[in-house]
Structures are given as structure tokens and as C-alpha cells.
Amino acid sequence: MKIPQASPKMLAFEGLWKELFSSPVHLDSALSKASPKHKNLLAQAVPSILLRPTTLAECAGVGVAPGEPWNLDAAQLAEWPAARGIAERIFEGTLEPRRYSKARAEDFPPALHEEWTRDWGAEGARQLAATLGVEAPLGLRAKRAVGPAALAKELAPRLPVRTTVSDISPLGVRLGGYAPILGTEAALRGDFEIQDEGSQLMALFALWPELYGPLLSEAPGAVRVGQAVPEVPAQVPPWTVVDACAGAGGKTLALADLLGGKGRVYAYDTSMRKLQALRRRAKHAGINNFQAVALSVGQEAETVRRFRRRAQAVLVDAPCSGWGILRRNPDIKWRQDPDALARMPGIQKRLLGLYSDLVAPGGQLTFGVCTFRKAETLEVVESFLAEHPDFERGPGGYVGPGPCDGFFMQAFRRKSG
Ligand SMILES: C[S@@+](CC[C@H](N)C(=O)[O-])C[C@H]1O[C@@H](n2cnc3c(N)ncnc32)[C@H](O)[C@@H]1O
């Protein structure tokens, strides 16, 4: 009997799927290595399978054993027959993942869903599962000098997706889904950055917590829409701002643009590679009022000591479990390490305590994370306040996940005396 040959598309899928489970590579970098011929197809199929594996397996009629895929190890996941079955149906055109866009608890590892239920109740957990199992919208941040209305007006007729002005960030534009925006003239001019609207809100909040705090909620999921989003203040103070965990600079670039070229943003990170990406992005955007500072792990305190109490605003956008951005990084939930999760609150408390020393008397400190675990949000806040009586609590809360990614942010003010 002749064994049927796998199609080139299926071979490309199998290669990518195996790579995801045989090395700690992220979906984006695995996808970037796919052949141009298959990239678009894989970029649609693979995230959908990662987002809603059980729901799609049932819709594809391939069947999964109870508890799958969460009871399989990495080697078994690399060979998971249901993923192949779903991909085959997608490639034949007989399964359109977007039609099955309701995710359920079974699409997430039980440990995650159990913690969501403990933290936010059964209904909260159900809503989080439904939201985090579908593709995320795409957010753009218009440069201050351009503004979101002009940007949306220019892009809307050129893009195949709904393009609207954000109701979460006064600089945001929301695209209904994936669109080829990087080749547009506005992108070539550096008129916008790709940045989630919730992430934009965190940069605004780090400068003006009293103004933007009312947009936050007491629990994740809810987004306070329907009220006017406050405009960016016209008068900007010439502040020294520290973005203490700057990464590739999503928030640094927003902060520097918000300061209108007047103040200065110091972008710290322990990853040289990310800071290089920040420098490239800043050059393209024409942003000059920032300085990237590479820190060595364990020696951050020396830099902090030199700049003690100098900054009017410090943002600590700390490493976290990333549960608020599970839609954008659907591979994270497939390899959650319980030990790494347990270490997160300790890392956050250490970084918040360390960088709080940079805040000038009367200045403000913002703690931010892209997660909604109580252990990494409210509990970190209480622990910081208990150990730092020289700070008082400001506004804080959650935004998303929903029309934007899920974030938590909390402001503190250093007492003046
Ligand atoms: C959530 S990410 C920051 C995302 C970034 N603010 C943005 O908007 O794109 C957390 C960052 O903290 C950095 N980090 C980890 N340990 C650090 C430390 N001790 N000091 C400063 N940054 C650190 C990581 O390299 C990572 O880039």
C-alpha cells in the first residue's frame, strides 16, 4: 500500500509545532523562520490552535482524551495528533477557526483556571477564559504630534480591518485584527508605534495617575468605556523619569513622546539585546530625549545609589506571569513552570523596593504588570506599603483583558518630609 505523502503545508506545520515543544523558542521567533510561502498560513493556524486547542479539536472532529493536552509532556505535545488533525482541517478549508472563537476552561491548563477561580470567582474565571482564548485586537499609539484621529483617518481607507480611535488611550487607534500596516506611509514616517492600548494607558498613568486612574477597575476583564478619555495634558513638566524595566521600550517611547521632548527618560534593563531594539525603534520614531542604561543582574543597586531620589516619576513594569497577554503569546500557557510562577512575586517585590529608591521626595512610583494574579498584583502592593512607610498609596487597578491586553498598575507617592 502506498503511504500518502504529507503536503508541504503540513510538513511546514509539523516542523514549526515540533520546534515549539522541543526548545524554549517563542512562537514569534519560530514563525519568523518559516518559509515566506507558508508564513501567513501558519501565522493564522498555529496561534488559533494554541489559543483554543480543545475547542478546535472537538470542532474538527478529531477528538481528545479527557485532560488533554494538559496532561502531556513536551515530547508528547510535539507529536500531539489532535494538533495535526486540526491543522489538516484548516488547510483543507473545512475548519475556519474564527467561527469557533469561544474558548472554555478546557482550553487552559487546569492550574491556571483554578487560580483564576480562586482569585476572581467562577464567573470571573469563565469570562477570562472566553476573552483569553480569542485573537487580540491590534493597538497603535499615534505620536503626540500626529494624534489618533488623523492617523485613523489616514489608515482606515488603506486597511482591510475596522480602524477606530481608542476609547482607552487618548493616543490610541484600534484595528479590528491583523492588517499589513508596516508598509504604510504613516509607518515609514514613524507616525505610530504598535502598542497595546492598555500598555499606552500604563505610560500615561505613570505620569498622571490621578487623571488616568479613574479608567481602572477593581477586577480584571472590565474596561470602563463610555466615558470620555482624558486628553493628554498640554503642559508637560520637564521631568526626570526612569523606566526601570524598559525592555524593548514600548513604554519608554510613549513616555518620551508624552514629555514632548522636554524631560528625559532613563530606560534601564538587564537585557542588552532589548535595549538595542529600543535604540533602533527610537531612531525610527525620531525620539531623542531618552537614555538607555544596561544594568548587570545583582549590581543594579550601584546605579540606583548614584541616582538616589532624583526622579520625579519611576515606572517599574516588572517581569510577570504574562497572563494578561496570553492572547498575544498563546504559547506561554503551554509551558508554565510552577516554580517560575511561585518566584514572580518575590522578583517583583525586590525590583519595586530597589527602584523606589530613585523616587524624589513628593515624586511618584508606579508598579505595573501584564497579569491579574492577586499574588503578583494586590499582594505585592500590600507588601510594598507595609515595608515602605515613606510611600503612600495612590490610585490603582486593572484594565482588560478585553478590547486591550490585561494590565494592573498601582501608583505610590513618596512623602515629602
Ligand atoms: C514586562 S517586561 C518590560 C516591558 C517593557 N516595559 C515594554 O513596555 O515593552 C520586564 C523587563 O524587565 C527586565 N528585567 C528583569 N530583571 C531586571 C532588573 N533586575 N532590572 C531591570 N530590568 C529587569 C526584563 O529584561 C524585561 O525586559
Could you read off the pLDDT of 376-386 as tens digits, one per residue?
999 999 999 99
pLDDT tens for each residue of 7-29? 889 999 999 999 999 887 888 88
Ligand 1, atom 18, lies closest to the CA of 270
Nearest residue to 380 via CA among 296, 319, 300, 334: 319
Ligand 1, atom 16, lies closest to the CA of 270
Let me know: does 247 contact 317? Beta carbons within 8 Å.
yes
Does residue 326 carry a pLDDT above 70? yes
Does residue 226 carry a pLDDT above 90? no
Does residue 174 carry a pLDDT above 70? yes
Residue 331 vs residues 49, 322, 336, 375: alpha-carbon distances, Å: 10, 11, 9, 22
Nearest residue to 134 via CA among 160, 161, 97, 93: 97
Residue 169 vs residues 89, 101, 131, 326: alpha-carbon distances, Å: 39, 26, 20, 21
Does residue 3 carry a pLDDT above 70? no
Q: Which CATH architecture has domain 197-222+235-414?
A: 3-Layer(aba) Sandwich (3.40)
pLDDT tens for each residue of 113-125? 999 999 999 999 9
For the chain, what are the domain ranges? 8-101, 197-222+235-414
Cα 249 to ligand 1 centroid, rounded to whole Å: 9
Does residue 266 carry a pLDDT above 90? yes
Is ligand 1 within 6 A of the CB of residue 58?
A: no
Grid cell digits, residue 159: 486597511
Atom of ligand 1 nearest to the CA of 246: 6
Q: Which helix (H) or strand (E) holds 117?
A: helix 110-132
Does residue 1 carry a pLDDT above 70? no
Ligand 1, atom 17, lies closest to the CA of 270
pLDDT tens for each residue of 44-101? 899 999 999 999 999 999 988 999 999 999 999 999 999 999 999 999 999 988 887 7
pLDDT tens for each residue of 100-158? 778 899 999 999 999 999 999 999 999 999 999 998 889 999 999 999 999 999 999 99
Residue 86, pLDDT score:
96
Cα 74 to ligand 1 centroid, rounded to whole Å: 27
